[in-house]
Amino acid sequence: MREISHKLAFAHDTQPTRYSDVFDPNNGGVQARVALGDAALLDLAVAAAKKAQPAWAAVNPQRRARVMFNFKALVEANMDELAHLLSSEHGKVIADSKGDIQRGLEVIEFCCGIPHVLKGEYTQGAGPGIDVYSFRQPIGIGAGITPFNFPGMIPLWMSGVAIATGNAFILKPSERDPSVPVRLAELFLEAGLPEGILQVVQGDKEMVDAILDHPDIKGVSFVGSSDIAHYVYNRGVAAGKRVQAMGGAKNHGIVMPDADLDQVVNDLSGAAFGSAGERCMALPVVVPVGEKTAIALREKLIPAIEALRVGVSTDAEAHYGPVVTAAHKQKIENWIQTGVDEGAELVIDGRGFKLQGHEDGFFVGPTLFDHVTTDMSAYKEEIFGPVLQMVRAESFEEAVSLPSKHQYGNGVALFTRNGHAAREFAARVDVGMVGINVPIPVPVAYHTFGGWKRSAFGDTNQHGMEGVKFWTKVKTVTQRWPDGGASADSAFVIPTMG
């Protein structure tokens, strides 16, 4: 059986004592096992990073950018290999896997311009003969803890900015689909990144805790569920680290009476069911405004959902593939039953879906609920599967309040032709990322990604300038070059620039 290990800057001959199975979601079989590391292994990785990082920080920004350019070209040249590897462990269809990697590459493209964003500030003549300037320096060693649902994109979000700004970076990917991060680390080395600057350590909670507690790791970036994000944030901050921890979501799509319903249905089909709903930016809740809108939307949604093709990840005609594990499949189906028990109308039931020839695969059919209410736990919590819930609103005001009052505040979308309504909605809704006729409002790489409320813990977002700020610290220098004459007076009060 294939064994997936770490990508380290040193020879590692110690035999692991613990392993985790890596499944092929398309057929339900175990295709590999991943070696789980421990605190002792992390110590060795940190030591290698600590040795390599000062020299990398001393490399001028344009040379670091050249590594990013080289890496981007290598990933593009190996896109098919990476996408098939990703799909074989995650289950998303090949086209979606390529999109996963491409969105990560867009952050690498941003990192190719790192010399520009690292330019500091300068004030000449801030005081008599005094100049002030500031610049950004790397924090030293950073770490990323990434989820199973985007094994290409999110590691690139974190590692690209951290490395481009001069840090060493230790990545702990999900043990469910660990191969793509290892391959990306290999391509970084091929692109010219020095040994020790990017290392991959495999593991579970034991490795996560070791990362959070290690005194030489100065910053931790995390994406995962909200409960774990909260845990990571609290433990990391208690250990004196800067932490950004992105959590779960329950994104709403508000449909105004004037919306183009054909476009809305098309957008919802992809946003709710793409990648089997395993996205923190999925759109699992649709909110039609007014009974007439709800009836018309439902009439169009049902045939569109029933026409969705569920298939293996290599099926070019499939809209989405299996979910990642049997346990996750069971969790989704349990939530569907909870929705039924709580009184929601189950319009389309995706439970028990079987794909001919792949009966043991982890497939869940598309599911639609109507008449969902805000007191239902199936509405309050993140299902993270191909389940769309319809919550009917009587007015625009009620529709704005639904995502605003929800515990999660990751993303939201409004579908309308009315510019005034769109402007009001964007200004008032209590959610971090807003789409206007855009169902999945993930910002471009030179902006930043981050939600509000229980969707994010910490003060900075992922990538863009927020990412640069997170992985660097500002140093400010106030300088004076005397003309040779000694000052007659000693300063016993704080200096001013007047």
Q: Which residues does the annotation mark as catalytic? A: 280
Q: Of 305, 314, 310, which is closest to residue 346 (Cα–Cα)?
A: 305
Q: Of 236, 231, 243, which is closest to residue 212 (Cα–Cα)?
A: 236
* Residues 147, 73: Cα–Cα separation, whole Å: 25
Number of residues written out for the chain: 498
* Residues 12, 497: Cα–Cα separation, whole Å: 57
* Residues 21, 205: Cα–Cα separation, whole Å: 15
* Residues 109, 414: Cα–Cα separation, whole Å: 29
How far is the first Cα of the chain from the last one, in angstroms, to the nearest whole number?
73
By DSSP bridging, strand 411-415 and strand 130-138 are unpaired
Distance from the Cα of residue 201 to its chain's centroid: 19
- The radius of gyration of the chain's CA atoms, rounded to the nearest angstrom, is 25
By DSSP bridging, strand 198-200 and strand 472-480 are unpaired
Instruction: State the burial class of residue 80 (Cβ atoms within 10 Å of its Cβ: 0-12, 13-18, 19+).
Output: exposed
* Residues 277, 331: Cα–Cα separation, whole Å: 13
* Residues 370, 285: Cα–Cα separation, whole Å: 10
Q: For the packed helices 39-58 and 205-213, what is the interaxial angle rounded to 10 degrees?
A: 50
* Residues 450, 117: Cα–Cα separation, whole Å: 20
Instruction: State the burial class of residue 455 (Cβ atoms within 10 Å of its Cβ: 0-12, 13-18, 19+).
Output: buried
